[in-house]
């Protein structure tokens, strides 16, 4: 991965924070949010797997800004499924949920974004 610039990452975090806010405010449907948001966490390798020491130091410095997006990637987007499937017991047992539950979980994350309540 090319060198990660702090200004670029901060601008990206601001943009994706705003997408989260727009979704929880009802300005974007969850489907629209997913199209616009995903795969932010992976595309920027925010887990650090593609970065050199300088990039990893930047990720550490911005860890509190990155943490909500890690939660979105790992706890929401990786577990959401089609609304029809979310009604099936096998999906529920596997910890999967539909878009309405995903938005509820997204609201909890949004409350912790810079700037407070979404």
Query: pLDDT digits over 17-26, tens only?
Result: 999 999 999 9
Q: Residue 5 burial (CB < 10 Å; 0-12/13-18/19+)?
A: exposed
**Mean pLDDT, the chain, integer:** 91
The answer to whether the CB of 16 falls within 8 A of the CB of 33 is no
pTM for the model stands at 0.88
pLDDT value, residue 118: 43
Q: Tokens 């405010």 label which residue? A: 25
Q: How confident is the model at residue 117 (pLDDT cuts 50, 70, 90)?
A: very low
Report the phi/psi class of residue 84: left, alpha or beta, with left for phi > 0 and alpha for psi in -120 to 50. Answer: alpha
**pLDDT of 67-98, one tens digit each?**
999 999 999 999 999 999 999 999 999 999 99
| Mean pLDDT, rounded, for 59-64 | 93
């Amino acid at each position: 991965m090319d060198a990660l610039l702090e200004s670029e990452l901060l601008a990206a975090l601001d943009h994706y924070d705003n997408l989260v806010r727009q979704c929880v405010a009802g300005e974007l449907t969850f489907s629209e949010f997913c199209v616009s948001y995903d795969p932010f966490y992976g595309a920027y390798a925010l887990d650090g797997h593609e970065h050199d020491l300088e990039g990893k130091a930047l990720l550490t410095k911005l860890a509190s800004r990155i943490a909500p997006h890690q939660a979105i990637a790992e706890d929401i987007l990786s577990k959401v499924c089609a609304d029809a499937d979310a009604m099936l017991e096998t999906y529920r047992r596997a910890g999967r949920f539909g878009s309405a539950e995903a938005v509820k979980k997204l609201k909890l994350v949004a409350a912790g974004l810079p700037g407070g309540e979404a």
